[in-house]
Amino acid sequence: MTSRLSNLPTTLRWLGDRLGYLALLDQTLLPTECREIECRDLESVWRAIRELRVRGAPAIGIAAGYGLTLGLGRLDDESEFFTRLQQARDRLAACRPTAVNLHWALDRVVAVAQRLRGQASIPVIHQAIWDEARRIHEQDRAICRAIGVAGADLLEDGSTVLTHCNAGALATSEHGTALGVIYSAAASGKRIQVFVDETRPLLQGARLSAWELSRAGVPVTLICDSMAAQVMREKRVQAVIVGADRIAANGDTANKIGTYSVACLARMHAIPFYVAAPSSTFDLTLSQGDQIPIETRDGGEISEGFGRRTAPDGIGIYNPAFDVTPAELITALITEFGVIRPVNAGTIRATVGPKTH
């Protein structure tokens, strides 16, 4: 199993020095085509994030951090440099409002530049911005490994896990969060199988999670979203693990639309429901989940997904990209600092409060 982890995809990489460019695996082409796209300016990074060519909360944070460096390296006027930097930060922050990692990474990179303003030359400041983006990238690799190790003990040998959407290598810099737990458990010798919800309307479970799990050698079975209740009723599932895009101070968690339904089903069938996420996904400025902004996307993703119309013209379509799972439905949160259980404001602040935001 361990050797098969080398088959996991590389989601994003930077080529060259601070004046180089960002290469992204175009996830809209998977699973039938594996091709990188080159992002050499801010606009190409914005489009890649907005169009889900790169997606997953940690991955879009990393991409956005690198995106800030593009287009700034050839400026030499300090005022123009910082004006452009702030404009770039605001534009990238607006393209995906729910994932807090995006805002966290942008603010972290901008803060480095602001600390050097008036004290260093523009090339030195630009180098510091690029260094910070690379640091975020490298730290995410270590965080993914730590989350995997922290959560692996929660899975029993021979168990079957259900997951929704994609929180694996394609959503991060390395092994992922939710799928990272599965990879770590399998690498330790445990026999783990996975049910993957297809994840309507954009099929991230079918196109992405099933693809990378199979590449890693983990036995995977794809089901429609509406089949989750039946496989739980048939006692085919012993645990549910998902990722997260934002976690409020009390543990309410925003994740891909459909996650809340899966959590309700897990509670109904007495199946533990785990959320795996880095500390950068926690937004302790929000006391509860109803304060999390929910991105609404174009209705064509439902009525004409992947180029084929499946609904009549002229009807109303509502397409929220995320929903919020209440903390009381979450058995535990798995972070790089360990497992948080029970899930409440006190345990969260004690674990990640001093270390994030």
Residue with tokens 């330790």: 188
The closest alpha carbon to 56, from 214, 152, 203, 173, belongs to 173
Given a contact cutoff of 8 angstroms between Cβ atoms, the answer to whether 54 and 60 are in contact is yes
Residue with tokens 């607006």: 94
Residue 328 C-alpha from the chain's centroid: 22
Residues in CB range of 32: below 8 A, 6 or more apart: none
- Residue 87's identity, in one-letter code, is Q
Given a contact cutoff of 8 angstroms between Cβ atoms, the answer to whether 332 and 339 are in contact is yes
Side-chain half-sphere exposure of 152, counting CA atoms within 13 A: 18
The residues annotated as belonging to the active site are 245
Alpha helices in 51-121 (DSSP H): 57-69, 78-94, 100-116
Give the separation between CA 202 and CA 204, rounded to whole angstroms.
Answer: 6
Give SS3 for 354.
helix
* Tokens matching residue 202: 């954009």
Give the separation between CA 253 and CA 288, rounded to whole angstroms.
Answer: 9
Residue with tokens 């429901």: 273
The two beta strands, 160-163 and 239-242, are parallel
Give the separation between CA 46 and CA 95, rounded to whole angstroms.
Answer: 7
The DSSP annotation for 271-337 comes to: --EEEE--GGGEETT-SSGGGS---B--THHHHSGGG---S-TT-----BSEEEE-GGG-SEEEETT
Give the separation between CA 175 and CA 142, rounded to whole angstroms.
Answer: 10
Give the separation between CA 8 and CA 317, rounded to whole angstroms.
Answer: 36
Given a contact cutoff of 8 angstroms between Cβ atoms, the answer to whether 56 and 172 are in contact is yes
